[in-house]
Amino acid sequence: MNVRFADRRPEGPHALAIPLTAGKVEAARLAGLSGDAAAFVARAAAAAKFEGEAGAVAELFASEGRILLVGLGDGESDKAYEKAGGAIVAKVQTSEKTLVIDFSGHKTSGARAGALAFGAVMRNWRYDVYRTKLKASQKPSLDEIVIVGAGEGAEAAWASAKALADGVSFAKELVTEPANIIYPESFVERCRKLADLGVEITVLDDTEMAELGMGALLGVAQGSRKPARLLVMRWKGADKEPVAFVGKGVTFDTGGISIKPAAGMEDMKWDMGGAGAVAGAMLALAGRKAKAHVIGICGLVENMPDGNAQRPGDVVTSMSGQTIEVINTDAEGRLVLCDAITWVQKTHNVKTIVDLATLTGAMIISLGNEYGGLFSNDEGLADKLLKASDASGDKLWRFPLGDAYDKLIDSPIADMKNVGPRGAGSITAAQFIKRFVEDGVKWAHLDIAGMVWSAKAGPTWDKGATGFGVRVLDRFVADNLEG
């Protein structure tokens, strides 16, 4: 969808949206409308009890045509502008071709106009590739947004926001695609377009990983006909020490021999949401030419239960040399992450790692679909990620780590087992990953199991993939690695 900025409203048919801060809507606040139309709109807003709450929309028809009033709350929050942009688009996505958002007479910064455009574009994202029988009234028609009267710097703000929107959209696309379309090899192919933006792409196949001793990752993949891949994306936008983002990319998770219940298993196409977030973040960083050095790693496997699949009780040797007793083959994501984390430490000598994974159902029990879980061995890194979370809207909540939890994954026949007892499942999973983080390396684990897919529409997404994780990584880089 095209977004452009203008000094006046364009000619031709369009829907008109007028953003308003909270308070009684008076005719004088409706800049750009004729006197009679402004008075009519003010009366209609009062009848609809519209008072400008963030994201609230009042829709009416006047002599100027279709008009939507959208609330900005107190007008002091970027998130309110994003919410307003998404709310407008949700109303007109399938009924209008052009949407004009008019800030005339309202003081707003270019950055906040860019935030509104970002929210609008994000909410407009849909993936109708496989839908062949949509009625005309169900098909998206909106293809242009014209923002009038935006503050200074709006176009520059939108250029950066657009790069982020592209990254979030890419993550949504990867997560939305079914597992017969996105599997380890095709995930890699989708990501090759990042090379056009200057991202260095390296791919390790299963033979190369076997030579490196990645028995944990390859053990997950051995029941599938789809070979595993390790995708490495390097963005060197500055001559600095690299930071690594590592994503769990289980492109479909049956649970393996420890097979999941049939009900809801189709959702396991999004068990690669961590890898999708890493790929989306790398696209966003390259798209806005971030002045940072970031390495994105995606451990890509499919977890299937054929005759060659690993069994509960098998012992595998990880790339680090540590041995793992596989108690539950459905606790596979940590097996993928441990080898990917070992590889990036040994290959690139990174000193900061953030991993993202739809790792545990226990996280959804703990936090529902409101927050992702944060675990870290470093207070400073945890604090930076929490601040990036608050600023970006990808909300995180910190959980504890400790020796008492770590002991729960000791194995009687190997260095560790891949699951602990029923309690503290998300914590023991994080403790497992922590065992593969070298001394002196700052590490954080984001368990985003409840966040990459939504059963209901949100401010910047429709039902389905949310793109969670891209924004918090992008903001973390902007706040801490650039400048």
- pLDDT of 272-319, one tens digit each? 999 999 999 999 999 999 999 999 999 999 999 999 999 999 999 999
Nearest to 165 by CA among 136, 139, 145: 145
Q: What is the pLDDT of residue 416?
A: 98
How would you class 116 by CB atoms within 10 Å of its CB: exposed for 0-12, middle for 13-18, buried for 19 or more? buried
Question: For the chain (length 483 residues), average pLDDT per consecutive 10?
Answer: 92 92 81 82 88 92 87 90 96 96 85 95 96 93 94 91 98 98 98 98 98 98 98 97 98 98 97 98 98 98 97 98 98 98 98 98 97 98 98 97 98 98 97 98 98 94 96 98 89
In whole angstroms, give the CA distance from residue 151 to residue 173: 32
> SS3 letters for 174-236?
HHHCCCCCCCHHHHHHHHHHHHHHCCEEEEECHHHHHHHCCHHHHHHHCCCCCCCEEEEEEEE
Q: What is the pLDDT of residue 433?
A: 98
Spell out the alpha helix ranges (H) of 66-136.
78-92, 110-124
Q: What is the pLDDT of residue 48?
A: 87
What are the structure tokens assigned to 271, written together?
């068990």
Q: What is the pLDDT of residue 27?
A: 77
- Provide φ and ψ at 310, rounded to 5°: -70, 150
Segment (H or E) for 33: none
Contact (Cβ atoms closer than 8 angstroms) between residue 309 and residue 329 = yes
- pLDDT of 367-416, one tens digit each? 999 999 999 999 999 999 999 999 999 999 999 999 999 999 999 999 99
Nearest to 65 by CA among 92, 47, 87: 92
Segment (H or E) for 281: helix 273-287
> By three-state DSSP, how is residue 445 classified?
strand
Q: What is the pLDDT of residue 33?
A: 81
The partner residues of 215 in beta bridges, in order of sequence, read none
Contact (Cβ atoms closer than 8 angstroms) between residue 477 and residue 389 = no
This prediction's pTM = 0.96
Return the active site residues. 260, 334
